[in-house]
Amino acid sequence: MFTFRILAGLIIALAFPSLATATGFDLAANATNQLGLELYRECGAPAENLCLSPYSIQSALAMTFAGADGETRAEMMRVLHYPGDGDIIHASFSSLQKSLEEMTKKSNEVVQRSKEAGGPSEPITLAVANRLFPQTGYGFRNSFCALIAKFYGGAFEPLDFRRNPEVARQHINKWIAERTRERIRDLIPPNGVDATTRLVLANAVYLKAPWQSEFSDGLTKAGPFHVRGGTPVDVPIMRQQEHFGYANKSGFTVVALPYVGSELQFLIFLPNDVKGLDALESKMAPETLMQCAHLEQQLVELYLPKFKFEPPTIPLAAKLRALGLKSMFDEPTGSANFDKMAPRKPDDYLAVSEVFHKTFIAVDEKGTEAAAATPVAMLAMTGMVRNPPKPVVIRVDHPFLYAVQHIPSGTCLFIGRVTDPR
């Protein structure tokens, strides 16, 4: 058996126009949010900061799914929440990617018009890249290569894992660093690939999104934050009074801060109880995320801590197994079937060895900067506006859940928790 690894950020998806039009981005959006919440609950200790890119992970796994067959394919469809006709998921990811590209174009237009009025001076920067690094000379099927190129814009760059896996690892890590403006470095750890590696599917995304209404630097003051729900510690707290998307739910409050262009937003899910994050996480559902794309506006006086962190690389294989993805990891032995990727033989077949994921996020007065990358490695085996007289005061002074959401589709590009903003 030979292995392949998945390094996923976001995927550039270029689909057949007829299919993309027929499916839209709903299938990709729903699958992304469902898997995102499931992995969120599997990743990291509840008391620790967390950042994931559900779209990055799903996009890389969608490329992997394109090569799956038999029970491996059926299992991936079930666990990844793909529709009965699994092939249409590729067109849906393509449609979603096109909508994201259109969003960045619109933000450029908004910025050009607003500069004269003293509005935001920077548009949204969203850079997505996708590349496959196969073993030189390995017999991948032409149909698989064509599908990846057509739907995901993925170029193939052969490397020699057999002779020098370390050189190959460094090359892939350099490519990811370049595509994420150096925010994601050393994604594949030492020994993350070896002489049995036959393919790495790499996906990288970089996002820099200015707020539609920036916070004033002069209003940022030290204020208390209950770190991990415990004793308060002073941290830099930003302040702004503005109309934001707002909802008061059972046990928590939601506030939505738009980025320039109003098609991307930062969601804050704040538990009513200082120690209520666990309860909020347990009941968070994909439907809740989708509803947040259509919140009513409310005048809000918001106090929000600045934060910036880069969690270490997360190996996702064990977490995906816990969700039910086992065959693609060759459990039980001999079950992995990626015959649509490369001809499967009893003593020579592909299986996923690991899925690596790494993110970076920074939220400050100007907006949000975030990046993600996810590689998959494979081996071969031998609303209405309201204006109340007074604003609602929201103090984000204890652990909360957040998401960066593409409003037209409801897709969460990033999701995580802040338990310590320092």
Tokens of 218: 């002069």
Q: Let me know whether 293 and 276 are in one domain.
A: yes
Q: Let me know whether 240 and 302 are in one domain.
A: yes
SS3 of the chain: CEEEEEECCCCCCCCCHHHHHHHCCHHHHHHHHHHHHHHHHHCCCCCCCEEECHHHHHHHHHHHHCCCCHHHHHHHHHHCCCCCCCCHHHHHHHHHHHHHHHHHHHHHHHHHHHHHHCCCCCCCEEEEEEEEEEECCCCCCHHHHHHHHHHHCCEECCECCCCCHHHHHHHHHHHHHHHCCCCCCCCCCCCCCCCCEEEEEEEEEEEEEEECCCCCHHHCEEEEEEHHHCCEEEEEEEEEEEEEEEEEECCEEEEEEEECCCCEEEEEEEECCCCCHHHHHHHCCHHHHHHHHHCCEEEEEEEEECEEECCCCEECHHHHHHHCCCHHHCCCCCCCCCCCCCCCECCEEEEEEEEEEEEEEEECCCEEEEEEEECEEEEEECCCECCCCCCEEEECCCCEEEEEEECCCCEEEEEEEECCCC
Q: Is the pLDDT of residue 384 over 50?
A: no
Q: Let me know whether 106 and 61 are in one domain.
A: yes
Residue pair 375/172 in contact by the 8 Å Cβ criterion = yes
Q: Let me know whether 301 and 322 are in one domain.
A: no
Q: Record the pTM.
A: 0.89
Residue 371 CA to residue 366 CA, distance in Å, equals: 16
In this prediction, residue 13 carries a pLDDT of: 22
Q: Is the pLDDT of residue 16 over 60?
A: no
Q: How confident is the model at residue 120 (pLDDT cuts 50, 70, 90)?
A: low
Q: Let me know whether 103 and 29 are in one domain.
A: yes
CATH number of domain containing 239: 2.30.39.10
Tens-digit pLDDT profile for residues 201-239: 888 888 999 999 999 999 999 999 999 999 999 999 999
In this prediction, residue 2 carries a pLDDT of: 54
Q: How many CA atoms lie within 13 A of 357 on its CB side?
A: 29
Q: Let me know whether 242 and 137 are in one domain.
A: no
* Averaged pLDDT for residues 18-22: 35
In this prediction, residue 76 carries a pLDDT of: 96
Domain around 163: 2-211+309-381
Q: Let me know whether 26 and 173 are in one domain.
A: yes
Q: Let me know whether 200 and 324 are in one domain.
A: yes
Residues making up the chain, counted from first to last: 422
Of the chain, the end-to-end C-alpha distance in Å amounts to: 45
Q: How confident is the model at residue 8 (pLDDT cuts 50, 70, 90)?
A: very low
**Sign of the alpha-carbon torsion through 208, 213, 215, 216:** positive
Tens-digit pLDDT profile for residues 329-347: 999 999 999 999 999 988 8
Q: How confident is the model at residue 23 (pLDDT cuts 50, 70, 90)?
A: very low
Tens-digit pLDDT profile for residues 32-60: 999 999 999 998 777 899 999 999 999 99
In this prediction, residue 117 carries a pLDDT of: 64
Q: Let me know whether 72 and 135 are in one domain.
A: yes
Q: Is the pLDDT of residue 265 over 50?
A: yes
Based on the structure, what is the number of domains in the chain? 2
Pairing mode, strands 125-134 and 155-156:
parallel
Q: Is the pLDDT of residue 19 over 50?
A: no
* Averaged pLDDT for residues 319-334: 95
| Average model confidence (pLDDT) across the chain | 88
Tokens of 345: 């033989």
CATH number of domain containing 121: 3.30.497.10
Residue 212 CA to residue 265 CA, distance in Å, equals: 9
Q: Is the pLDDT of residue 9 over 90?
A: no
Residue 86 CA to residue 90 CA, distance in Å, equals: 8
* Averaged pLDDT for residues 352-376: 90
Q: Is the pLDDT of residue 304 over 70?
A: yes
Tens-digit pLDDT profile for residues 145-185: 989 888 887 778 999 999 999 999 999 999 999 988 888 88
Q: Let me know whether 314 and 266 are in one domain.
A: no
Residue pair 8/376 in contact by the 8 Å Cβ criterion = yes
Q: How confident is the model at residue 22 (pLDDT cuts 50, 70, 90)?
A: very low
Q: Let me know whether 238 and 361 are in one domain.
A: no
Residue pair 171/82 in contact by the 8 Å Cβ criterion = no
Q: Let me know whether 46 and 86 are in one domain.
A: yes
In this prediction, residue 32 carries a pLDDT of: 96
Residue pair 149/171 in contact by the 8 Å Cβ criterion = no
